[in-house]
């Protein structure tokens, strides 16, 4: 009898334990939220683990309207970003040097309505003339603007247009928040100084920590940029294996037209030639030229250019700066203290005289850009 009682108690305890386990299993299943349709097919536990362990990729989660100049922000604060606008390509190489030397992010500002060559022919009532003269002009930017929240330092690059930053830079500063960030402006020009272009940007972002603006000549090298960066408390990477040839620079030639004939001249590597490029990039000029000494055509320029005079012997096809304000095209030889601006390749005296003629001639000077 006692044995039967013991067995009965053991059986009751076992049944009670099974009931407790069954109730616990039912209580562990979380009910669906009201208004949510839940449908699990196949292996539900496998599907749930896949959802939790495989997040949506960054690429899939980005807006479809994101453009090429959009960038991935850094995940931690303290980063550096280079933001720049470069219509003719002079500012772009410098921005890329800074990016590579500091291992920074980079974003190019592009106009929603791109600027054409005619748009930047200064003093022709072109688009740039009108925008730079209009305090309220704010050209629209194409694509999305970068999220600057994770950056402490912003390098801001632009060319000089009529002595100031292009108005699209104003659009950028009014569209982002650089409060508390260090903004380091840099600009490019052949001869124009940085002037008041930086100070006139301060009011657009008064809560930023502005550094002095720096103007760089067209063709500034990587080493010059690297030396400039040393003044900032930023880590410069070791890029000794890189050289300036890695940056694709836009190139241009001097186009000379006279009496229906066209000649192409390669620019010299000096500040005089760079200044002439900047002037002609704004607008082509036509110079009334006359014969001198039976070896050249000479005429007055509408502006002064910096001089780099050296004693040289001219050859047919040389384009020379004389006294800083006159341009000459040589069809014969001479020796004097000049600045060579450019040289027409493979042009003979006879070919040049056919175009230039014996007397006075109107000669058009312009630029043609290549890749």
Q: Can you name the residues that pair with 141 across neighbouring β-strands?
A: 111
Q: What angle do CA 45, 46, 47 make, to 5 degrees?
A: 90
- Dihedral angle of Cα 275, 277, 278, 284, to the nearest 10 degrees: 120
d(CA 317, CA 334): 12
| φ and ψ of 132, to 5 deg | -70, -25
**In the prediction, which pLDDT does 123 show?**
82
As a whole number of angstroms, the distance between CA 259 and CA 50 comes to 76
**Mean pLDDT, contiguous 10-residue spans, the chain (371 residues):** 51 57 45 33 32 33 37 55 92 94 94 92 89 96 92 95 95 96 91 85 96 88 93 69 46 87 90 91 91 94 94 93 95 92 88 92 85 38
Cα atoms found within 13 Å of the Cα of residue 122, Cβ hemisphere only: 12
CB contact at 8 A, 169 and 158: yes
Distance CA 18, CA 212 (A): 79
Cα–Cα distance, 103 to 97 (Å, whole number): 10
Give helix then strand counts, H and E, for the chain: 10, 15
- The total number of residues written for the chain in this structure: 371
The DSSP 8-state label assigned to residue 335 in this structure reads: E
Q: Which residues contact 306 (CB under 8 A, 6 or more apart)?
A: 191, 271, 272, 275, 324
Whose tokens are 């780099």? That residue is 308
What integer pLDDT is reported at residue 251 of this predicted model? 64
Domains (range + CATH), the chain: 73-246 (3.40.50.360), 252-369 (2.40.100.20)
Sign of the C-alpha dihedral computed for residues 173, 176, 180 and 185 taken in this order: negative
């Amino acid at each position: 009898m006692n044995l039967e009682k013991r067995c009965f108690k053991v059986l009751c305890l076992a049944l009670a334990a099974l009931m407790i386990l069954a109730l616990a299993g039912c209580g562990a299943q979380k009910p669906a939220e009201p208004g949510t349709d839940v449908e699990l097919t196949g292996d539900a536990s496998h599907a749930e683990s896949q959802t939790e362990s495989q997040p949506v990729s960054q690429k899939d989660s980005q807006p479809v309207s994101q453009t090429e100049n959009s960038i991935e922000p850094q995940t931690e604060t303290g980063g550096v970003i280079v933001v720049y606008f470069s219509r003719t390509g002079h500012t772009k190489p410098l921005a890329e040097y800074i990016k590579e030397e500091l291992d920074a992010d980079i974003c190019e500002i592009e106009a929603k309505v791109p600027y054409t060559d005619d748009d930047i022919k200064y003093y022709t009532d072109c688009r740039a003339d009108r925008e730079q003269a209009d305090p309220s002009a704010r050209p629209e930017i194409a694509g999305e603007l970068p999220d600057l929240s994770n950056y402490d330092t912003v390098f801001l690059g632009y060319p000089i247009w009529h002595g100031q930053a292009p108005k699209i830079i104003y659009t950028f500063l009014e569209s982002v928040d650089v409060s508390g960030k260090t903004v380091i402006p840099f600009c490019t020009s052949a001869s124009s100084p940085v002037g008041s272009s930086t100070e006139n940007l301060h009011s657009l972002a008064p809560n930023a920590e502005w550094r002095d603006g720096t103007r760089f000549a067209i063709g500034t090298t990587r080493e010059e940029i690297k030396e400039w960066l040393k003044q900032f408390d930023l880590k410069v990477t070791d890029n000794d294996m890189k050289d300036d040839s890695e940056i694709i620079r836009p190139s241009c030639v001097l186009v000379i037209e006279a009496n229906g004939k066209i000649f192409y001249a390669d620019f010299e590597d000096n500040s005089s030639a760079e200044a002439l490029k900047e002037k002609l990039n704004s607008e082509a000029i036509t110079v009334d030229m006359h014969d001198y000494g039976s070896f050249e055509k000479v005429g007055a320029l509408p502006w002064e250019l910096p001089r780099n005079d050296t004693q040289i012997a001219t050859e047919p096809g040389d384009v020379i700066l004389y006294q800083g304000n006159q341009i000459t095209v040589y069809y014969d030889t001479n020796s004097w203290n000049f600045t060579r601006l450019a040289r027409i390749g493979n042009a003979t005296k006879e070919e040049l005289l056919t175009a230039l003629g014996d007397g006075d001639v109107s000669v058009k000077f312009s630029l043609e850009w290549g890749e």
